[in-house]
Structure 1
Amino acid sequence: MKFSTTAFVLLPFLQHALTSTVTYTFDFTWVTANPDGQLARPVIGVNGNWPLPTISCAVGDQVVVYVNNKLGNESTGLHFHGLKQYRPPLPTLLYTEQEGLTFSRHGTSGYDGPPGVVQCPIPPGSSFQYSFTVEQPGTYWYHSHAAGQYPDGLRAPFIVSDPQNPYSGQYDTELVLSMSDWYHDQMPGLLARYADPTQNPTGAEPIPYSALLNDAQSISLNVQPGKTYFLRTVNMAAFSQFYLHFDQHQLTIIEIDGVYTKPKTVDSLYIANGQRYGVLLKTKPTASQNYAFLGSMDTTKYDRVPGYLKENVTGNLVYSKTAPRAEMPVISAFNVIDDFTLVPYDGMALLSGAPNAQIVLNADFFLRDGQNRAGFNNVTYVPQKVPLLFTVFSAPAGLVQNPAIYGVNSNAFVVKQGDVVEVVINNYDAGSHPFHIHGHDVQLVARQPGVYNPPPHLKHPDQPNKSGHNGSANALGYTGNTATMPAVPMRRDTWLIAPNGYTVIRFTADNPGVWFLHCHMDWHVEVGLAMTLVEAPQQLQQQQSINPAMASICKAQGIPTTGNAAGNTQNWLDLSNANTVASAQRGALYP
């Protein structure tokens, strides 16, 4: 911000003048918990407690989270799921007669959290401060992005209230409901067995033991008759997609993944890993009885259904503490909505016409270097010697847009500032997958069974010709014709791709950063089903820089903060020492 010596006038519509700083201090330690009542086990707690606290703030607030890693045996890194780390220009703050509008702001991609992408891991005994301004209202969550830690308990909702919520006059108060699956074994051992083909020759994912609501079972939500509640729901599961149903109560969807929607009333919700729904729940006029609600894991996604599995978890809407606890009636089938049919409240139109950049990703599983792995375009994601964001910061201007400097196994795609980007994801797997993009919400513009491949000139240079699969769009396939796309597509940051199908998304590259795009089944991202989006690297070099505290954390671990993916600062196109083989799975164990 530049100040003139002449008088200046504050503009009257300065919304951010009333914001505040919200500060949390988190000591990560091991504590013991038994949320499903079957087995007490170590979990990652905050300040000696588990479940973790919900982070709450308002639009425009500065959020500061001090992380002190006191785990002793694991590194960590914190991601704020769905928050874009984006600070749009606000040419409304300051006016001077000589200088005019002079305010400019930049993003905070370095606080996005994934180790190896935007930061180094935070080792035991170290601390780091995350600090960013929240510009988006809605329902989010925070979780570790270090291997396997959020299924071990390091996760909780993140709620951003909105003084301009278009539905604010239609509800009385808010409630938060999370759902998750629960494992009895800790993740490092489970990940090692999952990735080892000698122990897991079919590549089957570990099956959880139980379903949880608000990290517990048999929970109660206290309600009053004749009221309307804004219920914020979050699926924090490692592997499981959930049905959510309230007996004799309908739900009106008004938000998904932080994007307000036109209202849509439904009987049940289907919530994939990482997704969030904000709904209005209207209570009955009298408190004559209580009502049950159900969270049910979708077991059709599992390779098997073991006898120990408790896939259902129930709670109660408690109208009266003197009335008996309600039992959940048998649900023969769940009536859920297709999120593609929802309409964003703001009416943002389709990003139409030919996109500036098209990225085609073929998602598949394979055996690679003696491990069960996954990847896009036959490339399994492997963290590089230098976190990718730091490669951007240190690269020569003439090479920063060259994807080669980021290493083959970072699966990096470079897009320019202002590009309309189209991403096609083909799912070659027989199971559905929830994909999440950091730094954006995206338009959901097409989804079909079958596989789409573009003409050869649109393919990524490293994309192989996949034998055994259709080499062009099938009869139901996407043709690139925007006439088949919705005029006002729904937007979200986490979307589900059907088995052996594809989805097409679009967004504008207006948020300089290095952003992860990955499957949000934790097993899959940990074996490489991920890619990186290097967005507007030239602007990123000009606007952001490495946090000195993070540079010190990297240095203490011997992790370079300059150079290409291999740490080479002399010959930026020499990637001979880049990481191409994934390390044996040890989760987040340190060292």
Structure 2
Amino acid sequence: MTNVPSDINSCIADPPYTGVIRNYDFAIKRETKAPDGYSKPVLIINGQFPAPLIEANWGDIIQVTVHNQITGPEEGTALHWHGILQKGHQWEDGVPGISMCPIPPGGSFTYSFIADLYGSSWYHSHYSAQYAGGLVGPMIIHGPDTVKYDIDKGPILLTDWFHRDYNDIVEDVVGTDVNKIGPSSDSNLINGRNNFDCSTVATGDKTSCKSNAGITNFRFTPGKLHRLRLINAGAEGQQKFSIDGHNMTVIANDFVPIIPYDTKVVSLAIGQRTDVLVRGLDKATGAYIMRSSIASAPCSFSSNPDATAIVYYKHEALTAGTFNTTAWPEFKASVADVCVNDDLTKTVPWYPIAPDPNPPTTKVIDIDFHQNGTGNWLWFMNDVSFRANYNQPILLLSNMGNNSYPDSPEWNVENFGSNSSVRIVINNNGAAGFLAHPIHLHGHNMFVLDVGTGSWDGSTVINPSNPQRRDVQILPANGYMVLQFTADNPGAWPLHCHIAWHVSAGLYVTVLERPDDIAKLQIPSVIAQTCRDWSAFTNTTVLNQIDSGL
């Protein structure tokens, strides 16, 4: 792969047409794996956890044929290409019940979309909480460099890890016992590996477990500038990343290059990515600990929050097996006390875009958490807890002119009509404001105008001529965030918390953008075929959808 040459203006324009098709063939199965030494059923692609890297150049077409071979039990599935705008391919977003029907057991489907942004990202299942069971993989799209570097070390996936099956966890999360709604992860992984202490396994648990399963290592070169592509591909835990003895320079957040700034710790909520540059220490020969720790409660919940890997300069230092470097004080402090992203004054996009200072519509969304009529604990956005209908994707209904949902308030559709831009204020400052939420908007790099504790004052916009843009932003506990997007991508776009257990419990809104233009989309017939295939499956199999479906 090579960087796509481009002038500055074209770096924020529509992607170039390369004519190149990147083909991938994925078989999804459930197999027993032990990423941290504890054996459990894991959802894998082509035998791998984490799943295979997807790599392309900006403007390439990515085609992925997915074969649903999940058994024990059988399940539907669908893959979402996180952060891809899907302009002109809105039906390829991979969200069941929104842009398509699920791929049924034994079925196959080929996604085809343009790599319309560049940088570091990931893909994952958007069917129930499957990504908490292992169905995640990295995605790199090469494009113009803003800052030169010497060595690309590739994706570094940071994932909390649960030993229980995700279906069992979801049953608790949406159950009636409030003491079970916030499960703690059992481990934490860097690129799918870490050492779990098997002596801590619960009494009576006879699961195969091997301590010292092994950790990941990365070789650095003295004096050279290394690019690390950090990706939080977990289910719940906010990650704090650092390398002992090394400073980092942040150059991108999500798919957005930013003005570089230095740091010793990077905070990443679920779904977020940060690209950093790390210069190898001059004349170094030893080994240093790379750390990713899950932020302390009540930010996140983990029984074993610390993952480590090794950065080494000479092979002898790696084989010596003694690694006793010291964590930065800033790292320890952030793990203990910080549950937000870096201040918006730091995260300034490299290529400036100014949002509409007077958007024609503003929507206020309040978050709540309480029991429903049957006693189940659920999350709510404006008094609605979302629940998908896998057989009736909202995008397809809108394409046929159906934008009225009187019988399905659980779809939680916010129809923004033909407005040119939309501002959304999300309040997390009521009785349910005890947790932070990583808020993700599909189909857009949203402007993050302001974020903080308490309530928005109605006017403050941080860096109004060029505010932070990204696709996931942490909404703080007892706080608010103000986001805005330009309505240039007609579609049905999920806006949701990216904590698996929270979206499973309904913390979700469907943003319906320019429905008149959705009606003009030429959606390929194969998308409707997925619904016929799914209907054939559900006509003979009773589907026990215990959560929101996403």
Q: Place the TM-score, normalised by the shorter chain, in its bin.
A: 0.7 to 0.9
* Structure 1 contact 418–510 (Cα < 8 Å) conserved: no
Quote the Cα distance in structure 1 between the aligned partners of 2:548 and 2:28.
Answer: 17
1:243 is matched with which residue? Answer: 240
Quote the Cα distance in structure 2 between the aligned partners of 1:519 and 1:508.
Answer: 21
SS in 2 for 1:125: coil
* Structure 2 contact 344–462 (Cα < 8 Å) conserved: no
Quote the Cα distance in structure 2 between the aligned partners of 1:317 and 1:213.
Answer: 12
- The number of aligned residues is 495
Structure 1 residue corresponding to 2:494, chosen from 516, 521, 524: 516
Structure 1 residue corresponding to 2:310, chosen from 310, 316, 335: 316
* Compared CA separation, residues 257 and 15, structure 1 to 2 (3 A): closer
1:504 counterpart = 2:482: yes
SS in 1 for 2:444: coil
2:203 is matched with which residue? Answer: none
Once the two structures are TM-superposed, the CA of residue 226 in structure 1 deviates from its matched residue by 1.4
Alpha-carbon deviations, 1:298-343, whole Å to 9, x = none? 12236876xxx22101111121111234234255442667241211
Quote the Cα distance in structure 2 between the aligned partners of 1:277 and 1:45.
Answer: 25
1:50 is matched with which residue? Answer: 49
AA in 2 matched with 1:165:
D
Once the two structures are TM-superposed, the CA of residue 267 in structure 1 deviates from its matched residue by 1.0
1:193 is matched with which residue? Answer: 172
AA in 1 matched with 2:400:
S
1:552 counterpart = 2:529: yes
Once the two structures are TM-superposed, the CA of residue 203 in structure 1 deviates from its matched residue by 5.4
Once the two structures are TM-superposed, the CA of residue 357 in structure 1 deviates from its matched residue by 1.4
Once the two structures are TM-superposed, the CA of residue 358 in structure 1 deviates from its matched residue by 1.0
Structure 1 residue corresponding to 2:466, chosen from 488, 492, 495: 488
* Structure 1 contact 31–49 (Cα < 8 Å) conserved: no
1:381 counterpart = 2:392: no
1:415 counterpart = 2:411: no
Once the two structures are TM-superposed, the CA of residue 485 in structure 1 deviates from its matched residue by 5.7
Alpha-carbon deviations, 1:366-402, whole Å to 9, x = none? 1113211111011110113511011111126xxx4xx
2:141 is matched with which residue? Answer: 160
Q: CA RMSD in A?
A: 2.4
Once the two structures are TM-superposed, the CA of residue 219 in structure 1 deviates from its matched residue by 1.1
2:277 is matched with which residue? Answer: 280
Quote the Cα distance in structure 2 between the aligned partners of 1:234 and 1:304.
Answer: 19
Structure 1 residue corresponding to 2:507, chosen from 518, 522, 529: 529
* Structure 1 contact 149–588 (Cα < 8 Å) conserved: no
2:163 is matched with which residue? Answer: 184
Q: Matches of residues 315-394 of structure 1 in structure 2 within 5 Å?
A: 315-323=309-317, 324-325=320-321, 326-334=323-331, 338-341=342-345, 342-352=347-357, 354-370=358-374, 371-384=376-389, 386-394=392-400
* Compared CA separation, residues 442 and 14, structure 1 to 2 (3 A): closer
Alpha-carbon deviations, 1:98-139, whole Å to 9, x = none? xxxxxxxxx111110111111111110111110011111111
Once the two structures are TM-superposed, the CA of residue 486 in structure 1 deviates from its matched residue by 3.7
1:41 counterpart = 2:47: no
* Structure 2 contact 387–410 (Cα < 8 Å) conserved: yes
1:210 is matched with which residue? Answer: 187
Quote the Cα distance in structure 2 between the aligned partners of 1:485 and 1:118.
Answer: 34
Once the two structures are TM-superposed, the CA of residue 151 in structure 1 deviates from its matched residue by 0.9
Alpha-carbon deviations, 1:447-489, whole Å to 9, x = none? 23223xxxxxxxxxxxxxxxxxxxxxxxxx322x256664321
Once the two structures are TM-superposed, the CA of residue 193 in structure 1 deviates from its matched residue by 1.9
* Structure 2 contact 363–425 (Cα < 8 Å) conserved: yes
AA in 1 matched with 2:388:
P
Alpha-carbon deviations, 1:491-540, whole Å to 9, x = none? 11000011110000111010111100100000000010000011111112
Once the two structures are TM-superposed, the CA of residue 407 in structure 1 deviates from its matched residue by 3.3
Quote the Cα distance in structure 1 between the aligned partners of 2:29 and 2:405.
Answer: 39
Quote the Cα distance in structure 2 between the aligned partners of 1:303 and 1:488.
Answer: 31
* Structure 2 contact 450–460 (Cα < 8 Å) conserved: no
* Structure 1 contact 253–266 (Cα < 8 Å) conserved: yes
AA in 1 matched with 2:167:
P
Alpha-carbon deviations, 1:197-252, whole Å to 9, x = none? 1xx23453111100100011221011211111111100011010011011111111
* Compared CA separation, residues 15 and 447, structure 1 to 2 (3 A): closer
Structure 2 residue corresponding to 1:443, chosen from 444, 447, 471: 447
* Structure 1 contact 31–50 (Cα < 8 Å) conserved: no
2:217 is matched with which residue? Answer: 220
SS in 1 for 2:315: coil
Consecutive unaligned residues of structure 2, counting only runs of 5 or more, are 1-12, 195-214, 335-340, 538-542
Quote the Cα distance in structure 1 between the aligned partners of 2:462 and 2:30.
Answer: 52
**Mean Cα deviation higher: 437-446 or 416-425:** 416-425
Quote the Cα distance in structure 1 between the aligned partners of 2:381 and 2:446.
Answer: 19
Max radius of gyration: which structure?
A: 1
Quote the Cα distance in structure 2 between the aligned partners of 1:118 and 1:184.
Answer: 31
Alpha-carbon deviations, 1:382-432, whole Å to 9, x = none? 113511011111126xxx4xx546832211112244621101000132111
Quote the Cα distance in structure 2 between the aligned partners of 1:14 and 1:206.
Answer: 42
Quote the Cα distance in structure 1 between the aligned partners of 2:17 and 2:131.
Answer: 35
Quote the Cα distance in structure 2 between the aligned partners of 1:340 and 1:406.
Answer: 41
* Compared CA separation, residues 227 and 127, structure 1 to 2 (3 A): same
- With normalisation by structure 2, the TM-score equals 0.85
* Structure 2 contact 365–424 (Cα < 8 Å) conserved: yes
Alpha-carbon deviations, 1:8-63, whole Å to 9, x = none? xxxxx9984544100000011112111111x2111111123333111111101000
Consecutive unaligned residues of structure 1, counting only runs of 5 or more, are 1-12, 87-106, 452-476, 561-581
* Structure 2 contact 21–63 (Cα < 8 Å) conserved: yes
Quote the Cα distance in structure 2 between the aligned partners of 1:404 and 1:259.
Answer: 35
* Compared CA separation, residues 343 and 17, structure 1 to 2 (3 A): closer
SS in 2 for 1:75: coil
* Structure 1 contact 415–509 (Cα < 8 Å) conserved: no
* Compared CA separation, residues 132 and 315, structure 1 to 2 (3 A): same
* Structure 2 contact 157–231 (Cα < 8 Å) conserved: yes
Quote the Cα distance in structure 1 between the aligned partners of 2:478 and 2:15.
Answer: 47
SS in 1 for 2:157: strand
SS in 1 for 2:518: helix
* Compared CA separation, residues 485 and 409, structure 1 to 2 (3 A): farther
